[in-house]
A and B are shown apart, each in its own frame.
Chain A
Amino acid sequence: MYWINTIIQGALVGGLYALFATGLSLMFGVMRIINIAHGDFIVMSAYLAVVVVGLLGVDPLVSLAVVVPVMFGIGYALQRGLLNFTLGDDILRPLLVTFGLSVVIQNGLLELFSADSRRLQLPWLETASVRIGDQLAIGLMPATVFVVAVVVIAALELLLYWTDLGRAFRATADDSDTARLYGVNNRYIYAMATAIALSVMSIAGVLFGISYHFRSDDRSGPAPLRIRGGDYRRPGQPVGNVGRRCHSRSSAGPRRGVRSKLGYTCRTPRVSIRPAGAAARAHSEDRRPMSDIPSYRIERSTGTSRLGFAILLVALVALLSLPGWAGRAEMRLLIEISYYLALAQVWNLLAGYAGLVSVGQQAYVGLGCYVFLAATAFLNVPPLPALLLTGFAVTMIAVPVAFVAFRLRGAHFAIGTWVIAEVLRLIFTLIRPFGQGTGMSLPISVVRAISENRTARELILYYFSVGLGVGSVVLVFFWLRSRQGLALAAVRDSEAAAGSIGINQQRTKLAVYLIAALIAGLVGALVILEKLRITPAAAFSVTDWSADVIFIVVIGGIGSIEGPIIGTLVFFVLRALLADYGAWYLITLGTIAIVVMLKAPRGLWGLIGEGHNVHLFPVQRRVRFDANRQPIRALGK
């Protein structure tokens, strides 16, 4: 009997989760928006119900009559006023804007309602249950939730398959340009999709608020696990069918310039002329090998890059000498800056060059934490070899993960990596030796093993962190200058074209992915060494290790080395300036993310460098003709 009970309870809880998933997959299916703020909208609806119940003194279920229309309106306005401007081939823009929204909502709620946990009271339903036989009892509340979920999903099914609006949703999801040709106003359709999605979420949110305690910083469980539910297209899944999009939108018409996977127009020609192999070498030795071709040389550094190197050199000297003249607090800050710089550099390589928009780098930071912890605490490996072991182990784990994740593309890859990280987090909350959800401390003996002296320990940690940060910049710099870097830039600008000239994209991408995992793993080891205590929630935090890093890279300027550096500086300056304002700091951060995505999709470095040919890092190649400035045409003869 026990297992029948379990199955029934599970199915009833599943109803709530199905509602969560439905809202999210409607937005993803119709518009390819990965709504990171999804959980926050759910919690927001629950708070809205709290307010309505408080003001009108009505039953929480009756409050739905107010909450649902309000959320519908918010959804419609949000899409028309904000999200519609982020749509395009680039999945990063809606991702970052909804991340900004998430931060703003979460902290707005924190300001308004404090962090106390709440619950919508519904005494007459909560405790009631129906007995079936001696051993089975079905709570009326879970049963109600289940019935509501079924009704809502059935209603959506009817809407999608039997109404003009539903057909328009599906047609727009397939091919929005062609849908417009038959009278579909896609801006309206998108707004309706978000409005309906938020309405469904608000129903879910109120039911959630009745069923469980909730808090303003609650994201109601692992979001991505809910996401998957509706995205598979099997028959009977109502909204899944919306998500089919066989041909990309870009094929609807001639392309405007060369578009990268990330959707921005790129400056291709710079890399496209490259003397290959022996002919090139002949060129540099004998300046005039063939009569027609004007002699040329390949130039890499520029005036600004020489200046940039001078600045960076000064910065490096300052960094290395810092322990001599600055205090403990500054060192701690720089340790943090360093590992964010390292994470940002490799994430930029992933998303900005290889087209792998990962939202799951926290998987490798978390694994780094736990592998290091396991090696030192359980296997008694000394710290330094443990560090090497951590790097190696995390990279090895990344190989099979890549094998799975690389089967997904674009937005699906983003969600997939997030799901993998969430699964890892959940696994580590179950492992008893690691203290399950409450976490575990680094044994004091391990700390002592680094050095008996506290100052020496701090120095070692500092230089290791700075080494990782600077090292990641140097690594990315030389990588991009190399032949592999040229391949990466080509993949960034056009995957199809890169493939057709013989670049092995899978190998290039795998290399980037593994390096990113390695760096994240080392950062993880650093984090545990610095914080000395770790919980699965902190180790696998999507906000700390992915969202913040995405913020840094995108604000700074994706697809350049300079961008992540600038982004890291901006991030920490903002944090220093606004640290005293608590929730308002994060609200500002979220707002900045939204504004930059709308106004300067190429980030701050894009604003500075765009059109001015400013490069601090000379990774480009330029062809300079020495003698007569004959056009390139001569090369073809």
Chain B
Amino acid sequence: MSLLRTNDLIAGYGDFQALFGISLSIDEGEAVAIIGSNGAGKTTLLRTVSGLLRPRNPTDIEFDGSAIGSLEPEQIVARGIAMVPEGRRPFPSLNVEDNLRMGGYCRRTGPWTLQRVYRLFPMLAERRFAQSQTLSGGQQQMLAIGRALMTNPRLLLCDELSLGLAPIVIRDIYAAMPDIRAEGTTVLIVEQDINRALETSNRVYCVQKGKITLEGRPGDLTREQIKLAYFGI
């Protein structure tokens, strides 16, 4: 049975519709990537799954067999979906360790503790009492991932981990992925960087204008197919 399923998911902002019937499913233990250009609806999809946006129909989203479309974000995270938000968004008045502790606020237990996160990102341990705003972009991204892991999620949603970061930093961050998956966490990655997405995932969905235009395993897809699905030309 799939861990996350969306059934013809429709969502938007007020009168503006952004998702036009997205159907996808993710199995426990998979790493799935969603690629697509700017404004394709990737972030909207993650915001809807995490509860920040309401889908048009509550049954459009199922997690572990039950509909979660009408739940508040704080209830969804308690069920085991954590999000690394776009733009990292650390809490500026909290230091690094307090930011991580905020991840533990929902009190889910599991493999991820402060110590385990510090082992994954030793840099965070070094700067544990630093104000989060003084970290570099890459360090903030590690903090955001660590904070999300502290909720001990079954499903980790990562929104544009590479946004605004140097290639070498992006490599460091993605290097943590095997470790995260080794703890049994299912990962859904939204990414504009196609190559990075293909490398990291078992399966890829391509989204364009709020619809899924392509689905498959990275090895099975050709460049031409992806180009067509990505740009629609």
Contacts and interface: CB of A to CB of B under 8 A. Distances in A.
Q: Bound pair: A and B?
A: yes
- With most chain A CB atoms within 10 A of its CB, the pick from B53, B72, B73 is B73
B74 A170 contact: no
Contact of A171 (B77, B83, B91, B133): B91
Interface string B71-97: 011100110001101000101111000
A425 to B, nearest CB: 34
Contact of B92 (A181, A244, A252, A257): A244
A194 B150 CA distance: 29
B62 interface: no
B103 A167 contact: no
B169 interface: no
A167 B150 CA distance: 15
A238 to B, nearest CB: 13
A184 interface: yes
Contacts of B47: 253
A244 B13 contact: no
A174 B105 contact: no
A427 to B, nearest CB: 36
Given A178-B85, A256-B13, A241 B73 contact: no
Contacts of A252: 52, 89
A175 B91 CA distance: 7
Contact of A254 (B13, B15, B73): B13
B14 interface: yes
Given A164-B101, A168-B102, A256-B13, A183 B78 contact: yes
Interface in A542-575: none
Interface residues of B, number: 36
A377 to B, nearest CB: 53
B91 A183 contact: no
A182 B147 contact: yes
B83 A179 contact: no
B141 interface: no
Interface residues of A, number: 28
B125 interface: no
A181 B93 contact: no
A415 B105 CA distance: 34
Contacts of A207: none
A46 to B, nearest CB: 34
B67 interface: no
- With most chain B CB atoms within 10 A of its CB, the pick from A177, A181, A182 is A181
Given A167-B98, A184-B105, A253-B52, A241 B13 contact: no
A177 B47 CA distance: 11
A525 interface: no
B6 interface: no
Interface in A231-250: 241-242, 244, 246-247
A174 B94 contact: yes
A281 interface: no
A257 B93 contact: no
A181 B50 contact: yes
A182 B13 contact: no
A247 B132 CA distance: 14
Contact of A180 (B44, B72, B151): B72
A489 interface: no
B106 interface: yes
A246 B78 CA distance: 27
A254 B86 CA distance: 12
A484 interface: no
A164 B52 contact: no
Contacts of B106: 182-183
Interface string B187-204: 000000000000000000
B77 A183 contact: yes
A451 interface: no
A622 B147 CA distance: 51
Contacts of A183: 74, 77-78, 105-107, 151
B89 A178 contact: yes
A173 interface: yes
Contacts of A167: 94, 98, 101-102, 105
A173 B13 contact: no
Contacts of B148: 182
Interface in A128-146: none
B217 to A, nearest CB: 30
Given A175-B91, A178-B85, A246-B133, A185 B101 contact: no
Contacts of A255: 13
Nearest to B78: A183
A494 B25 CA distance: 40
Nearest to B147: A182
Q: Which 10 A-B pairs have the closest CB atoms?
A: A183-B106, A180-B73, A256-B14, A174-B91, A171-B91, A178-B89, A244-B93, A185-B74, A183-B77, A183-B105
7 contacts: A173-B93, A174-B91, A174-B94, A182-B103, A185-B74, A253-B13, A253-B47
Interface of A: 164, 167-168, 170-171, 173-175, 177-185, 241-242, 244, 246-247, 252-257
